[in-house]
Structure 1
Amino acid sequence: MWVALVADYFVYMDETGTLDFGPPRSPTESPYFGFGSVIFPGEHSEAIRDGHAPRASLESRGVRIPSQFHAKNDSWSTRGDVYAVIAGQKPRFDSTLP
């Protein structure tokens, strides 16, 4: 008898650059195309909650975050806070830059 155990994995993906490998259309656009993923095995609601902590802290100090964190837009201080949270979570990161 075979028993299969199916685990839950949550995968988040993002891309950078231009898919047509054309030149950047703006100063903030990357000349390279790539994509990456972050994988969390199993239930990770605590990780999601922890990810909101830097945003809540900034908002409570009057710093508006209109939509989301993004390293190209965030200060070095904010990046450090966010990266510290991610480092403590230890998800699996994969990236491809053709």
Structure 2
Amino acid sequence: MNRIFISGEIHGEIETLHSNKDKVAKFTIQSDQQQFTVLFYGKQIEHFLNRMYEGHTCCFQGKLNSKGQIVANVYQHLYYFAYMNEMWARSGRYRSLSER
């Protein structure tokens, strides 16, 4: 699985699931007229669940699983993604999901 970065608006409700290790947030991100299912887990999960809501814009770092879902363990506010996007574009290392 390749590491990907996605930004967009949370669309719909955020479901809280329980895995064998920890909580997992499942929700949809709408980005550039595309929708992606995101499974978010990790150290930031409680902070995320307490502060995020439908319509909030943020970005995620993770990997694409075999079901086409983004399995993410890092989230940042949109300003961080915009900064990193600019840095990756300069280095030639960034490719959008549509280019893969």
Shorter-chain TM-score tier = under 0.3
TM-score relative to the length of structure 1: 0.27
Q: Give 1 or 2 for the bigger CA radius of gyration.
A: 1
Larger strand fraction of residues: 2
Q: Which has the higher contact order (CA 8 A, sep 6+)?
A: 1
